[in-house]
Structure 1
Amino acid sequence: MRGAGKRKTRPPVRFGDYQLDDQYAWSDHASLRDCPSPVVSSLSPPIDELEDEIDHQLAEVSRSIERIQLNEARLREHDQQTKPKKTQRNPPPQTRDIRQDDVPRNSRVRMTSPPRAFSRDPDSRTFSRDFGQDGRGAPRKNPSRRPAHTDEYEQTRGYPSLRDIRSMNYLQDPFTSAKRVRAQPRQPPPGDTFGWDLDGDNNRRPRRQRDYSSASDDDDKPYRATAWRLLQQDTRDTQRSAFAASTQANHRTHFAAYLGFCEYFHQQPFPATPHLLSCYAQFLSRTLNSPASISHYLSSVKLLHHLQGFHDLHLKHFELQQTLKGLKRNLQHRPRVPHPVTPEFLFQAHLSLDHSKPKDATIWAILLVGFFAYFRKSNLVPPTARAFKPDHHLCRRDILVAPEGLLIRTSWSKTIQPNEREVLTPVLAIPGSPLCPVAAYRRMLHIVPASPDSPAFLLPSTPRRPCRPVTSSILEKAFAQLVASAGRPPGFHTLHDLRRGGYTLAFEAGVPRELRQRHGDWRSDADLFYLQPSMAQRLRLPAAMRTLILQRTT
């Protein structure tokens, strides 16, 4: 850089007070560290002494283990040679001092791992030591270090001493004692910032990589294999929980149908060819009359291939699409036309019920709440009494009652599966009307009292049955009886038509679509299929056209 001036060589002020780094000579064994050679770091004497002590203790522990094993082998061999007969007494064992160089070359006693001192790279410090009779390097002569006792095991007859136990503890966790020395934060030497994190934690310095692996790693292999199998099982369970229980039941039915088809006709199920899928669709058309149902079965076949690892299957092949178009033309299927529940039908149902009975009062409250809150059947009642879940289905505590209306809290529905949010649905009272949802719910609470944690809609106990929640089968049978009493054919109305009827009534009242979609918690444009305008509403369009033509031509 031109014009930059003279390069600054003075060390930063923040490092000016740390002069301890200049009191000791720099280490010349940079090759033993894993950091690059240009990186120079100050090694404080306590840390170096600690590393040397750890190396020395590792060698001592290795020699101690070998002595113990050698003593056991000698004693076992001596007992076998001097083992008396049954008529003789056991003579006392004769012990003698075992030298370190008595280990034969072909002996079975071997060290489990070489000492750390011999696994180093060539270093002047290591080769400058004196070697003993056993070929091992003697410890360095340091006046501040405690001398090693070579005859310690001869004095204690093979029992480990406190020093050996401390050495074994160092083997298990060699860095615990180093934390005491690292109490004060270390700083780089003046003028040397290469390889240091000036804004981070400088307590950690580049260390030499040591190999502390032992036989315990082999002992952990069965445990790790078991943990891996458990992890795989948990992963499969998590993937399986991506679908609801009802969706999984449908998938199992579709999977069984496809596999049974392939087994009957002796066809290979994986991977499926477009010709095989076309034949499978033709086979399904003999039982299913709806092309949409056939498409659902084919989608399950695609999902089954993905679960088995075949990700190249797609349903947009020309042969398969031609087959589906031909089936749609040949089947001539007309879907069921829904009939939204109207206020007139609810008024007729009100006249057909005896509101003094607990069951009729509960059924009437369910119908009005489902109509004004746009609730699905799964939100109102559980499928069975045992399947009731307080965090999924409505409880008494989830419905706040006030003279002005009801405030219903929903934490689970068809569009709220992972419990990521809650929906508050307001329902206002209609004073003086037989279709008032607040009056119907209060009447039910008076006739069938329960605790706040109980299901919202209950049937009272009888001499034969205890108190139980209203299930979907009970509600469907009661609703079918009301449809028949109103003079409608069987199947003319379903429980889902309550949701359609409330949405259609709000459309007739001129409520904006955003509010209607928010009230029913629709996540897509499926609410548009709920619209069933009456003939009077449809006449508004030609009437407006007629009025405009008369204004322009007269």
Structure 2
Amino acid sequence: MENNITKFNTPIDISDPNATQRPKPYCPHLTPAISLLQPHCLAKERLTLWHPAHLPPHLTAPSPLPQSTVDRITSIIGASWTDSTKELYRTSLLVFHIFCDLNNIPDKSRCPISSNTLATFLVSCTSAHSGSTLANYAAGIRAWHIVHGCSWDINEAKYKAILEGTTRLAPNTSKHPRRAPFTVDILAVFHSLFDHNDPCDAAIFACLVVAFYCIARLGELMVPSIWSFKPAKHITWAGFKHTHNHDGLPVLVFHLPATKCDPKGETVQCTLHQVSSVTDSLHALENHFHLNPAKEHDHLFAWHHPTMGIHPLSKTEVSKKITAITKAHKEIPSLKGHSLQIGGTLFYLLKGVPFNVVKTMGRWTGDSFALYLHHHALILAPFLQTEPAILDKFEHYMLPPVH
């Protein structure tokens, strides 16, 4: 019994590698009124450091919880969202409080928020933002309520109707253009433009081809910043394995310690492809490993900086490289990180890999996977032929259900 008692209030490791980072100044057009309730802090800290005007009743009762306990509860609830989600919600709170400042809505009416106040806020943003943006705004405000233990008494029917209306009325300028996919040919062009004796280029190219052939989200293979790397959260050298299946076929396996969809981690894999030797995953990895030898618990795509030594491959470095190449070569379409997952999906589908297998590789759990069929006619082309001989090789593959 004594051993169990000593486990109460065990210290929680909520240390932040960016703890010494200073918040950036607000943009001139997105500056809230000065308030002790909303201190100037890092964007991802707004969920926990921006406080409601009134604490919920259970914290103002005659015997309130100790402040240390309140802080512990807030920290644990705040940790339920990933940094990327908290970064997404950061704008929600900022825009909402600026809206309240401009409309003289007092702090006590901002949290708990009423259905009318939320509706007024969302309606005021209609025709300027997409429906998904406004849904994120509402989700961020709701997360803020949850963190601080405040009630969320919103008329769901009214809320859903407003979001559906804003989606229909959203301007075309608020909608992202359809993402162009990476292809094997485009990866080959990238290969020709990289210096494969340069440690950074070698790391970036290996990361790109692994994401493509594993149908992985590029962000899962990189780190947000070079200071945010954590072996328990990001892929390391120890998370890579070159193995063979029971038939002797080579397989590259990558363990992702934690992902947005599964905090416990997921595994992605690919085999070797002879479609293009210059884009072969294993060849790219071996070149990267040769130029950037690192330790078992270092980031898998860490590279040797000439003055800083070994450090993780960041999202900024990869994004800058992709943007620089696409801008300098007009024959290459505008590509983003998500273009790799789209491209990998199309690569396997056009090779005739069954839809359910590709869906499993890409780790989709919902019907969003079916969007790839509607957006890319080449995938459906073989099924639209009238010649039985053409259909023979496809008839045993599984098509997703039609809705």
Query: Same-fold call, TM > 0.5?
Result: yes
Correspondence for 1:238: 76
Confirm or deny that 1:311 pairs with 2:311.
no
- Which segment drifts farther, 397-406 or 408-417? 397-406
Are the aligned partners of 1:278 and 1:323 in contact in 2 as well (CA < 8 Å)? Answer: no
Secondary structure of the structure 2 residue equivalent to 1:467: strand
CA distance in 2: counterparts of 1:367 and 1:270, whole angstroms: 44
**Using the alignment, how far apart are the partners of 1:377 and 1:446 within structure 2?**
22
Does the 8 A contact of 1:302 with 1:314 survive in 2?
no
Partner of 1:301: 141
Deviation of 1:275 after TM superposition, in Å, equals: 4.1
- The one-letter amino acid of 2:135's match is S
Q: CA deviation at 1:442?
A: 0.8
Matched, 1:380 2:258: no
Alignment of 1:183-262 (within 5 A): 228-262=66-100
Worse-superposed segment, 370-379 or 256-265: 256-265
Match of 2:319 in 1: 476
Secondary structure at the counterpart of residue 479 of structure 1: helix
Contact 2:179/2:335 (8 A) holds in 1: yes
Alpha-carbon distance in structure 2 between the residues aligned to 1:431 and 1:541: 24
Structure 1, unmatched stretches of 5+, are 1-224, 549-554
Cα 1:499–1:370 shift into 2, 3 Å:
same
Provide the C-alpha distance between the structure 1 equivalents of 2:175 and 2:276, rounded to a whole number of angstroms.
42
Between 1:380-389 and 1:252-261, the stretch displaced more is: 252-261
How many angstroms apart in 1 are the aligned matches of 2:275 and 2:101? 64
Q: Is the 2:240–2:252 Cα contact (8 Å) retained in structure 1?
A: yes
1:428 matched residue in structure 2: 272
State the match for 2:165 in structure 1: 325
Q: Shift of residue 483 of structure 1?
A: 2.4
What is the count of residue pairs matched by the alignment?
318
Larger Rg: 1 or 2? 1
Consecutive unaligned residues of structure 2, counting only runs of 5 or more, are 1-62, 245-249, 391-403
Deviation at 1:281, TM superposition (A): 2.1
Query: How far, CA to CA, are the matches of 1:513 and 1:352 in structure 2?
Result: 33
1:501 alignment partner, one of 343, 349, 363: 343
Distance 1:399 1:235 in 2: 36
1:154-207 deviation line (CA, Å, top 9, x unaligned): xxxxxxxxxxxxxxxxxxxxxxxxxxxxxxxxxxxxxxxxxxxxxxxxxxxxxx
Deviation per CA, 1:202-230: give whole Å up to 9, x if none: xxxxxxxxxxxxxxxxxxxxxxx898543
Q: Does 2:338 match 1:338?
A: no
Deviations 1:20-56 (A, max 9, x none): xxxxxxxxxxxxxxxxxxxxxxxxxxxxxxxxxxxxx
On the 8 A contact 1:382/1:388 being kept in 2, the answer is yes
Shift of 1:424: 5.1
Give the C-alpha shift of residue 351 in structure 1.
1.8
Q: Which residue of 1 aligns with 2:20?
A: none
In the TM superposition, what is the alpha-carbon distance from 1:315 to its structure 2 partner? 3.8
Report deviation, 1:459. 2.4
What amino acid sits opposite 1:299 in the alignment? A
Q: How much has 1:542 moved relative to structure 2?
A: 4.5
2:289 is equivalent to residue 445 of structure 1: yes
What is the rounded CA distance, in whole Å, between the counterparts of 1:327 and 1:226 in structure 2? Answer: 43
CA distance in 2, matches of 1:408, 1:330: 40
Partner SS, residue 271 of structure 2? strand
* 2:165 counterpart letter in structure 1: K
Could you tell me how far apart the structure 1 residues matched to 2:335 and 2:382 are?
A: 27
Residue 353 of structure 1 and its aligned partner are, at CA, apart by: 2.0
Worse-matched range after superposition: 376-385 or 464-473? 464-473
**Match of 1:316, SS?**
helix
Q: CA RMSD in A?
A: 3.2
Q: Distance in 2 between matches of 1:531 and 1:522?
A: 14
1:413 partnered with 2:253: no
Shift, 1:486, TM fit: 4.4
Question: Deviations along 1:304-344, whole A, 9 cap, x unmatched?
Answer: 455553332134228x8368526733634543211111112
Q: Aligned-pair distance for 1:470?
A: 1.7
Greater relative contact order, per chain length (Cα 8 Å cut-off, separation 6+): 2
User: Is the contact between residue 126 and residue 166 of structure 2 (CA under 8 Å) also seen in structure 1?
Assistant: no
State how far apart, in whole Å, the 2-side matches of 1:258 and 1:466 are.
Answer: 43
Q: Deviations over 1:100-121 (max 9, x none)?
A: xxxxxxxxxxxxxxxxxxxxxx
Task: Give the corresponding residue for 1:524.
Answer: 366
CA distance in 2 between counterparts of 1:470 and 1:440 reads 15
Is 1:459 aligned to 2:299, yes or no? no
- State, as a whole percentage, how many aligned pairs show the same letter: 18
Q: What is the TM-score with the length of structure 2 in the denominator?
A: 0.69
Q: 1:291 to 1:437 in 2, by over 3 A?
A: same
